[in-house]
Amino acid sequence: MISVNSTKQSHHHHDHLTSEVVACQNCDHEYTGRYCSQCGQRADTHRINWHYIWHEIPHSVWHVDHGIAYTLRQLIVRPGHTIREFLEGKRVNHYRPLALLLMLGAVLLFVQHGLGVSYMKASQAMFDTKQGSAGAQAFQAQMFEWIDRNQTLVYIIMIPFFAFGNWLMFRRQRYNYPEMMVIQTFVTNFTMLISLAIVVLFWALGGSVEAYKTVMGVSLVVMFGYYALTYYQLFQRRVGFFSVLWRSIVAYAISYLLFIMLGMIGGLGYGIYSAVNNPSAFKSEKPAATVQQPHK
């Protein structure tokens, strides 16, 4: 049982903190209260000891009530509602979406290297890369290798394209393009979570081309369902679920086509540059002529 005296002492301690003028240890701003009104630093800073380590590290990593764990849990359980609340200004409990994306990207890369699996190698094996010139084959191999090394960057680059597609299909909901980019960043965080699960499944199935086809099919079904649920909740059911579903599919197709078109333009520019500087690499290899031996 907590004594009355200890309770009074606790209240007296907090009252002392809130009424005393304190100089912030971080920015030297003078204030009253438990937090600096200038930078948010806590007033009751203490010397770092074992108690600090025991409390601060788990709190900083997991943040059960806010931060990384809270944001991920909300994106899984109620994605559309939590994104809408974030856009409306309820942000203190959430981890920043882009920072979370970078962290999940690092985890994804670590898991892939740890398990020794690669989507891009399976994708490259599925598409026949033996056709065309040596230069074209080399360019395609370099492209797959670059994507494999920079998956998080590719996800980030694709955000503006998918945001545009969704803004186009849901423009009557009056979310502007920057807001759509934030929405898509949150959705991409869930995509990262799915990618982590898919990597493990891909590895468990043996990492073959057939396994790649299977896991990609599963991921597409899950993602389209998640898109529909997210926007259905986000718009507070003003748009029907199946209407949201087909609009999400069309938005995905538009966004992906735009991304591919710009990628092709970039690839064409790179190809022209390479052809000018190294024309011999883009000549198709002819099979060696066979010399027929005279009949004896």
Can you give the pLDDT at residue 112?
85
Can you give the pLDDT at residue 212?
82
Residue 64 gets which letter from DSSP? Answer: S
Strands (E), the chain: 21-23, 30-32
In angstroms, the CA 159 to CA 188 distance is 8
Beta pairing class for 21-23 and 30-32? antiparallel
Give per-10-residue mean pLDDT for the chain (296 aa). 43 54 83 82 71 64 65 92 91 86 90 80 64 63 75 88 93 89 94 90 83 86 91 87 90 90 79 69 51 53
% helix / strand / coil in the chain, to the nearest 5? 70, 5, 25
Closest by CA to 194, choosing from 162, 225, 166, is: 225
Can you give the pLDDT at residue 57?
59
Placement of tokens 């993602």 in the chain: 223
Residue 237 gets which letter from DSSP? Answer: T
First-to-last C-alpha distance (Å) of the chain: 112
Can you give the pLDDT at residue 1?
41
Can you give the pLDDT at residue 4?
40
Can you give the pLDDT at residue 193?
92
Q: What is the pTM of this model?
A: 0.71
Can you give the pLDDT at residue 125?
67
| Contact predicate 137/284, CB 8 Å | no
